[in-house]
Amino acid sequence: MTNLSRRATAPRAAVVGGGITGLVAAYRLRTALGPDAEITVVEASERLGGTLRTVDLAGGPLDVGAEAFIGRRPEVPALMAELGLADQLVHPAGKRPLIYSAGALHAMPAGTLMGIPSNAESVAGLVDDATLRRIAAEQSVDLHWDRGSDMSVADLVGGRFGEQVLRRSVDPLLGGVYSGLSDSIGVRAAVPTLAAALDAGALSLTAAVESAIPAPSSAPVFGALRGGYGVLVDALVAVAGARTVMGTSVVSICGERKGWRVDPIGHVDVVVLAVPAPALSQILADTVPDAADAAAGIELASSVVVACSLPAGTELPDNSGVLVATDAGLSVKAFTLSSRKWTHLADRSGPVLRASLGRFGDTEALGWTDEQLVETALADLRTVTGIDVPPTGTFVARWRGGLPQYAPGHLNRVAEIEEAVKDVPGVAVAGAWSHGVGVPACIASATRAAAAVCEVAR
């Protein structure tokens, strides 16, 4: 079908997946294809936004999914500026998090990379003396690393520094990013600067970490939206002007002479698949089996967020949050002390916080009732901080399969998917499974995918 014949009718595009990736893709398609294009967003659930969700708590909006974005990446501020939302940009108050381990609160270790220490002093007080001696002596132990290879963070770090470093320093940070563990996350995808230092010939892990730690910067580490991510979701829905089909799962796509049949939506010219890896594998099973096979190897982690407002006058620790060691014996993996972390939340009727539960391979919390989850979160809060007050409001958000696991070899799987799809005209793929789980990476992924199919659609 020629471009000339395509221009005789309005282009038709389907975006499968109504999370942030799909909504950005729909917006980019609208911008590129114009007001007459027929754009349909198909979402399996009954709401748009994916893992972005904003609710009302303590008299104002609070995010109960993703809450922040990496400040050094430009994608979110740039998109906000495009949409006229620049005045929504806020930054944290600059307070440091704590780690709860061995029955006590500890300062977040300095001189670490994703919790991996550059020297023994980095984690002094957090691990025992035997572990400190092991870290100090690590440079005298031969390091075996094959350039371009990959392994789990646990295999690399645990083998050099021991179990306590993993459970008390590394796992808490990886749990916050991926809802995973050092056992389930690969070095090359999760800590690329460390892999690069090892590839360059670092003679020890401590030396590699030291060279990979970014230079100090006064720029804010994170950003957020004053009104929550719901403001961004609503703006994207409005500007994309797409038809939305909710509660509908796309099970396959089939090439036709003049485009694609998207089951059960119908015929379109182009398709952007912005869905989690397992769904992508199912949809492409018959059409692009190589991509489907690679996507099938990407697993998902589930989690729960319990948001609470507390009575006025309740004093939270003067920190941004508390990460919980995986050997601490608690159910909660982290507390975000939202009223301390974000200045725009400090003027609520009472303090607000979030408790996160669940990691890769552990879905028990998903089956608990809301009451059980709130009770567990408050009990762990009492253990960690001593705060023992009834909440004035709560909200429970369950995130089933919310985050992909970047296991060893993940970048190879992503490359296989993208290589298999790139020569399939009118089809593009995007999502948190590809080049980063954060909102900036999802925006970039969506932008690339929309650009890839636009020439076919015109």
pLDDT tens digits, one per residue of 375-384: 999 999 999 9
pLDDT for residue 168: 97
One DSSP character per residue, 229-251 reads HHHHHHHHHHHH--EEE-S----
- Taking the complete model, does pTM exceed 0.75, yes or no? yes
Average pLDDT over residues 360-370: 94
pLDDT for residue 1: 35
Average pLDDT over residues 76-84: 98
> Which H or E element spans position 163?
helix 163-165
pLDDT tens, position by position, 176-202: 899 999 999 999 999 999 999 999 999
Task: Return the bridge partners of 54, or none.
Answer: 63
DSSP state of 429: E
Average pLDDT over residues 303-327: 97
| Residue 220's pLDDT band (cuts 50, 70, 90) | confident
Q: Which long-range contacts (CB under 8 A, 24 or more apart) does 289-296 make?
A: 290/416, 290/419, 290/420, 291/416, 291/417, 291/420, 291/421, 291/429, 293/416, 294/413, 294/414, 294/416, 294/417, 294/420, 295/413, 295/417, 295/433
pLDDT for residue 8: 57
pLDDT tens, position by position, 123-139: 999 999 999 999 999 99
Average pLDDT over residues 256-271: 92
pLDDT for residue 215: 86
Q: How far apart are CA 261 and CA 14, in angstroms?
A: 10
Average pLDDT over residues 398-426: 96
Average pLDDT over residues 11-20: 97
pLDDT tens, position by position, 16-74: 999 999 999 999 999 999 999 999 999 999 999 999 999 999 999 999 999 999 988 99
pLDDT tens, position by position, 277-286: 999 999 999 9
Residue 6 has pLDDT above 80, yes or no: no
HSE-up of residue 232 (Cα within 13 Å, Cβ side): 37
Share of the chain above pLDDT 70, in %: 98
Residue 152 has pLDDT above 50, yes or no: yes
Share of the chain above pLDDT 90, in %: 90
Average pLDDT over residues 10-14: 95
List b or e across 169-204, with b for residues whose CB sees 16 or more CB atoms inside 10 angstroms: bbbbbbbbebbbbbbbbbbbbbbeebbebbeeebeb
| Residue 349's pLDDT band (cuts 50, 70, 90) | confident
pLDDT for residue 258: 85
For β-strands 69-70 and 222-225, DSSP reports them as antiparallel
Q: How far apart are CA 207 and CA 197, in angstroms?
A: 9
Token pair belonging to 59: 């008299």
- Asked whether 65 and 266 are in contact (CB, 8 A), the reply is no
| Residue 2's pLDDT band (cuts 50, 70, 90) | very low
Token look-up 């182009």 returns 270
User: What residue spans of 315-438 are helical by DSSP H?
Assistant: 338-341, 370-385, 410-421, 432-435
> Which H or E element spans position 165?
helix 163-165
pLDDT tens, position by position, 306-316: 999 999 999 99
More confident residue, 148 or 389: 389
Token pair belonging to 411: 């970048």
Token look-up 């829905």 returns 237
Cis preceding linkage at 109, omega within 30: no
